[in-house]
Structures are given as structure tokens and as C-alpha cells.
Amino acid sequence: MSPRPAPARRYAVTALALGLLGSLAGGAWAGARPPSPPLGPATARTTRVASAAGTETPLAGYAVQSSAKVTDSPEAVSSPGYPAKGWYPAGPRSTVLAALLADGVYADPFFSTNQQKIPRADFQVPWWYRSDFSVEDTARRTYLDLSGVISAADVYVNGHRAATAADVTGAYTRHELDVTSLVRPGTNTVALRVRPNDPNADLTMGWIDWLQPPPDRNMGIVRDVLVRRGGPVALRDAHVITKLAVPSLASADLTVKAQARNDTGTPVTAEVTGRIGATAFTRRVPLAAHETKTVAFSPADTPGLHLTSPKVWWPAGMGGQPLYTLDLTASVAGTTSDTAHASFGIRDVRAPLDADGARQYRINGRKLLIKGGGWSPDEFLRWDRGYAEDRLKYAVDLGLNTIRLEGHLEPDEFFDLADRYGILTLPGWECCDKWEGQVNGSETGDKWTEADYPVAQASMAAEAARLRDHPSVISFLIGSDFAPDARIEKTYLDALKAADWPDPVVSAASDNSSPRLGGSGMKMTGPYDWVPPGYWYAKREGGATGFNSETSAGPSIPTLDTLHRMMTPAELDTLWRNPDDRQYHRSPSPVFGTLKIYDAALTGRYGAPKSLADYVRKAQLAQYENVRAQFEAYGRNATDTSKPSTGVIHWMFNSGWTSLHWQLTDRYLDQGGAYFGAKKANEPLHIQYSYDNRSVVVVNHHHTSATGLTARATLFDPDGTQRYDRTVTGLTVPGDGAHGTALTLPSSVSGLSSTYLLRLELTGEDGREVSRNVYWLSTRPDTLDWSGTTWYYTPTTGYADLTGLASMAQAPVSATAATRSSDGTSTTTVTLRNTGSGKTPALLTDVHLVDARGEPVLPVRWSDNEVSLWPGESVTLTATFRTADLHGSAPGVRVAGWNTPERTVPAA
């Protein structure tokens, strides 16, 4: 977010493997006192460590307990056989609070204000993490590989201190401890005394104003702790540098690099061999005692590393996502000493500044408009691969191509999934805490001390090494709201250079500069709260020009199904009745604590809500039209010759908890107006209306031109009376995001009501409909007070009159549905028809797949949804989902719309 006079910002997370969604709830909260421990020992199961050289085994889990309750010495706690009586079991990647939630200590923190009842004082002291592992063969060397410690930890192995918290500090740093001399045959113990986290004092993770921050502030271990085995020579830092011929894509040069390290006190010669596909290579590497050498293979010495006709990796919608694999082995005297592996893709990323100073990304020589969303992990940093995969599939379904991660950089599996699905990622450091404390003036975050610079450099080095081979990663943002100063910038850039970082480095997500990198080419001008749809078309502030790194119209009220899962009846009553009341599920920020601005617009444009259901139905219309306009405006302006748009990140893609703002999909993966507005706007070939000049344009995101198109625009009163109709044939629109103007609607139409509907239809050469878009508009425009613009919104001084929608007659919609299943996946086909005998259309008809109890089946991917039908019109939709998510129930389809009564029909 942009600079502002008072602290008011966001908050986020990373991971554990505990199961999807419902795993949060447990037993009832017992009151404002420390949690009662379980009765018996809670020692995590012993991890059996493989003996083979080159293996790495993650610790399977821990027993955890507050240091306030542990009176034994660290030497005793870290010794095998210690009873750990009354300790809590924890997963292999678990914050303290995540473990307590999984153990049922507290009630679901995502419901109501339960989280407020969790005593924060319990997490202001260190907590012990204890795990046992067994080793059969101690002839090999043994290492502990630690990362993801929040915020720091003293490390003990078998009663001996292996590292101090001064060394193992920072959520992103990586530490390898040689514990060969401490390990013995049989059971071994590692214990970590984890320090409390303070995002303003530590280079870790915080939540700013995204959600109510967790009481433990995410203290714990959120990435795997690995036990590595090896021989005398270790292979580390294996990676592949790719150079693709652009624009021909006809060849690529690969350079393989790794560090060979002699961990013994005598000289050795290692045989390093490798393979990529059919290309094999080898080299003898003499190493002095404790010497490390860089081993490199390139086309100059290995011709097979010059590839002709390489398999090129593309973002989703632009091509395929092929990946290559590197395998390396170091042998000494004919015996394997270590192995290393890496997956990589071949692609070229460049991001120069355009003539207006905006950053313009090019993938494999082709320009693309970055269309993305801000990613939030789970609030308690619990990692669930399936849940992450479902959200990334949603991103593809929405036509997005990018996810931005502001801090809270997810585990390796996240980037593996992004590679697989073709979702570009923009990782970077976060704002509004210690990461920018040195440069952000009076905002939160302590100034840096000398001890922080090596932690920052180690963090950058570790993340660069982890992310550089992922083709989905296209940049690293070393600043967010602010750019680093010269010393911090050098700290980061030196680490990136040493890691052979291949992609553009950006100084900030805001319009700031750093000494060496210069201007960011990005803007962070908001808005973050409600603005009208027409706002996005102005080429100023947050409007569709340049690269907007985080922006949206703020609140995103979820569906009734989700609201009932997250709030009490009393809270729901307050939600729609009292705009000035603070909403716990919005934000801890004083700026974003209420829905006052949003509710005023909802009432001003649509009329005062009459009930919770009426409030939610109006919210879905408002969110559909606003999110659609945001993406449509940026899409239309992408190929403009003057001040084009180059990127937009919707703030946000999702929320880490049950939220009332900043989300295209909610915590439970339900979909409403915001989701389907984005999906409509990002169609590959799309017809749309321009709020600024009334033009009807066609945007073509395909690579090839679209020819022989026919565009039709029709205006209606809310009762269905037709007032205007025009058809234009023979349209041709170039590809790669270009647009063509089909027609411009007249400034006035005789007899048109103050509230009116616009139906746009685009058909191909074969006469089939390829895009359809329906708008609800007003002859009275929204008016903005640009002079009153703040960092988070521009005030609206006059609202469009959409109250005429309330007069629409009921429109009956029939529905028939059937489901077929195969290989664990089901597809429900739904046909909707407006069976009304009059002229009134059925506006924004929503279809939800439900189980026998009437609850949504989620996740689900619809071909289209929230559709509008005129009398006699029909549409066939498909919904794809996991058969197991029905839990043995027969599926049903619930149909409801703005002016269509709700009904559910069987879909078996």
C-alpha cells in the first residue's frame, strides 16, 4: 500500500499439513487462562532417517510446550527418552497456535470473535519443539537443514547445543548444521527453543491490515526441518541457468552449476556426473581438505547443453508448461557421496520500463498484461497442498496469469504447482514492519541494527536459491510500499547476484526508486475501498494505466452460505443494519474497520437493504460490476499508444481467514459476484462496455487475430422494453491483448429509463456466441471528487441511480441438471431457461451446486455463472468438482437471481 500518515495496513502467512478447511475447529475454548495440557506424553512419532547418501528426510512432527511450563534444562529436554509429559503434538510445519487448534484447545478462530478469546500472554515466552529421529548407520555424515523458523531458535541435539538463536533467526534464512559428531545409532533428539515473534522487531512475517493477527504472531516452525545424509563430499546449490533465443525460440543454452564441498580433513577427488534428458556429463573435481569448488557445465564443454527446438514454458493460456529435470551425483572412490536434483523450465522474462515509465513484462518475447491477485496463505501458516492447488486452479479459471506474494512466501510445493498450472508469481518482501522499518518514515517497523543486515542477506540468498529455477517466478520485489536505501539494496543485490538470479529485480511495488535499480515502474495509488465502476477508466490514480501492484474496490461480502459459517445471528444483523459499527471480520485497521463507505454506496446506488438476504444480493451485483470493470478497463487499455496499462493486481485474490474484504474467493472457496465478474472480464475473446466513453469494444487475448466477428448491443428498460439495438458485422481484432471498437452507444436514447440494462453479444464467423455481457447502468453517472483522493480511495459525490432494478418483475427460470462421474471427478450439466411470458429478463441468475443438506459443494469450477436471460432464452452450464466432496450425497442445483425466486432441483 501507499505511504500514509498513520499506520493502517495488512497481515498474512505460510503453512502446515493438517487437512482442508474444517481442520481448524476443535474443542471449546476454556476461558482466559493458559490451555490445560493433555494428560499423557505427546512425543511426536520417531522419524526414521534413510541411510543412503544423498537422501533428505523431513522430521515427521514435534511435541511442543511453553517454556513457562518446562523447568528442565535444555540438555534434558533434548535428550532421547525425555518424557515430554503434558506436551502437545504438532505437525512437521506448525506454528504454536496451529498445533493448539489442531489439538482442540480453542474453538474455531474463524467464527465470530473466538480468536479474541485466545490469551496472547501465552505466546510471549519461548516454546519448545521436540522431535526424535532414528539413524541406523552413523558412518555417513548427518546434517540438519533448518528454515522457516519464526522468529528464532536455539537448537539442541542429543543434549548438546548445536546453534543459538542469534544464528538461527529469520523466517526465510536457511541453516545447515553438521551434527555428525552428535548423532548416535538408534534414537536421536532435536529440540528447538523458539523465540516469540515480533514483526516490527524481527525480519519474519506479519499481517498489517489484512485480517485480525493471530495471538501467537505465527511463532513456530513453518517449513520442513530436514535430516540429510551424505559422504565425504556434499553437493549443494545445484541449479540451471537457461538462455533462450528470443524471439525465434529455436534454441536454448543451459549452464549447470553446483557447489562441491569436501567435508573432511583430507584431500579427495570427486566424480561429479549429471544428466538432463538424454544429455549426460561428468567431471573429476579434486578438493583440498574442507575446500568448496563451483562445478559448472556449459555448451562450451558439453555440446548437449545447447538445445535445438527446446520445449518452451509458457503462462497459462499462452502455451504449455513443460519442465526439465537435472540429476547430479558426486562419487568418491566409486561410491555415491551425495546427489542433487532440480526441476526447471526454459523461458525468457524481461520487464523494461515503457515510454511512460511503467514496467512492461515480456514472456518469451511477447508482451503480456499482468492480470493477477494478491495471495494470502492461511492465517496460521498451515500448509495444505490440496487447498493451495484448488486456489491456483481458481486463478486459471478466472483468466488470471499472476499471483503476487507480498512476503509470506509459500513452501516449495506452491511454486511447483504454479509451474505446473502456468501461473506467474511475483514474490517480494512485505511492507509496514521491520522489513521496511529503515526507510518507511514514521510507519511501524523498527530501524535496522547491524545484526539485521546479515539476516536480510541470508534471507535473500535462501529465497533466491529456492526460487530461481521455477519458471513461474518472474521477478523479485525487494521493496513494497517503500524502496530500500543504498545499503539494504546492495545487501539484496549482492545475494541475488551470487545466486545467479535470472529474472528482473524490482525496487518496490510502489512508485519509488532505489539507487542502483532506479524506478520501480509500478504504482500503489489505491484504491483499497469502494469506488464506482467508472473509476477504473480514468488514466490517473488507480485507473487503468501503468502497473498497479495492488488495488480493488475494497469490501467483498461473501455469500450467505459463508456468512452463516463465520458470524453469529446478532453479528449478521449488525452487518446489514449498522454501517458505522466496527466489523471484526474486516480489519484491525482504523481505516478499514467498518463498511461505512461501501454501505453508503450500496444504499445510494441500489437502495437501502431491507434484510440480510437483500443486503447480500445487492452486494453481489455491486461486486460483480466493480471487479468486472477493473479488469475490463486494464484489458482495454493494454495496447493503447498513450499511457497503456501494463499490469494490475487485484487486492486481493483470497483471504487467509473468514473475511469481509479483499477477496475474489472466500475462505471456503465459495464464489460470488466478485469471482464471476473477474471471470467474465478475463474471457479470452471478450466484448465489453466502456464506462468512460460508451464505446463497445472487443478484446482478444488469443495470440492470433479474430476475424468475421459480429457485435450486437441492445438497451432495455428494467421491464424488458427494448429502446435501442445495433449490430455491427465483419469485425477483425488482432491478438495478444489488442482491442477493436465495434460501436459507440449514443449519449441519449429516447424513452430510456433512469436505470437500464445493456446486453452485449459477440458471435463468430459460424454464428455461434463467443461472448455475452450484461450491464446495469444509469443515465445518472457516478461522480467522483478527485481532489479529495486519499491513499485508499476517491470519494463519490453522486451515485448512479440503479434503484430501478428493484421494480423488475419476478422472472421464472427453469432448471434441469444431470451429473456424470469418472475417475473421481464429476461434471454437472445445468440448462437454465427463462420461461416468463412477458419481456422481463432474469438478471444475474446464480447457480450453486449443493449436497442433500443444501450446503455448497466446494471447490467447483463453472463454465459460466451469474448469467442473465431474456424470456425464451436458455443457457447450458457445466460444473466440475471432486466426486468425494459430495460425501456420498446426491447433488442438487440451487438456482436464484436478482429477480428469480430460489429453488433447488435434483442433479443426480
Active-site annotation, residues: 481, 550
What residues contact residue 336 under an 8 Å CB cut-off, 6+ apart? 52, 53, 54, 231, 329, 330
Measured in whole angstroms, the distance separating CA 91 from the mean position of its chain's CA atoms is 23
What residues contact residue 772 under an 8 Å CB cut-off, 6+ apart? 687, 759, 760, 761, 762, 867
Asked if 710 contacts 732 with a C-beta cutoff of 8 angstroms, the reply is: no
Closest CA to 640 of 691, 682, 699: 699
E-only strand ranges, 720-841? 722-733, 738-744, 755-763, 769-778, 783-784, 796-798, 813-822, 825-834
Asked if 257 contacts 294 with a C-beta cutoff of 8 angstroms, the reply is: yes
List alpha helices for 568-669, DSSP H: 569-577, 596-606, 612-636
E-only strand ranges, 25-102? 47-48, 56-58, 62-66, 88-90, 94-95
Closest CA to 44 of 146, 176, 145, 187: 187
Asked if 450 contacts 491 with a C-beta cutoff of 8 angstroms, the reply is: no
Angle at which helices 412-421 and 452-467 cross, to 10°? 40
Task: Dig out the grid coordinates for 354 from the structure.
Answer: 515503457
Closest CA to 471 of 297, 793, 240: 240
Asked if 644 contacts 358 with a C-beta cutoff of 8 angstroms, the reply is: yes
What residues contact residue 355 under an 8 Å CB cut-off, 6+ apart? none
Q: Which residues pair with 462 in a beta bridge?
A: none
Q: Which residues pair with 639 in a beta bridge?
A: none
What residues contact residue 181 under an 8 Å CB cut-off, 6+ apart? none
The dihedral over CA atoms of 633, 639, 642, 646, expressed in degrees to the nearest 10, equals 70
- The 10 Å Cβ neighbour count of residue 5 is 10
What distance, in Å, lies between the first and last C-alpha atoms of the chain? 47
**Is the N-terminal amide bond of 151 cis, ω within 30° of 0?**
yes
CA distance 136 to 185: 5
List alpha helices for 312-379, DSSP H: none
Q: Which residues pair with 281 in a beta bridge?
A: 274
Closest CA to 837 of 816, 812, 867: 812
- The 10 Å Cβ neighbour count of residue 557 is 28
- Compute and round to an integer the Cα radius of gyration of the chain: 29
Task: Dig out the grid coordinates for 610 from the structure.
Answer: 431491507
DSSP assignment of 707-722 equals EEEEEEEEEE-TT--E
Q: Can you count the helices (H) and strands (E) in the chain?
A: 11, 51
Helix (H, G, I), strand (E, B) or coil at 367: strand
CA angle 713, 716, 717 (to 5 degrees): 160
C-alpha atoms less than 13 angstroms from C-alpha of 357 in its C-beta half-sphere: 9
Helix (H, G, I), strand (E, B) or coil at 565: helix
Interior/surface letters 83-109, b for 16+ CB within 10 angstroms, e for the rest = ebebbbbbbbbbbbbbbbbbbebbbbb
User: What single letter denotes the amino acid at residue 778?
Assistant: S
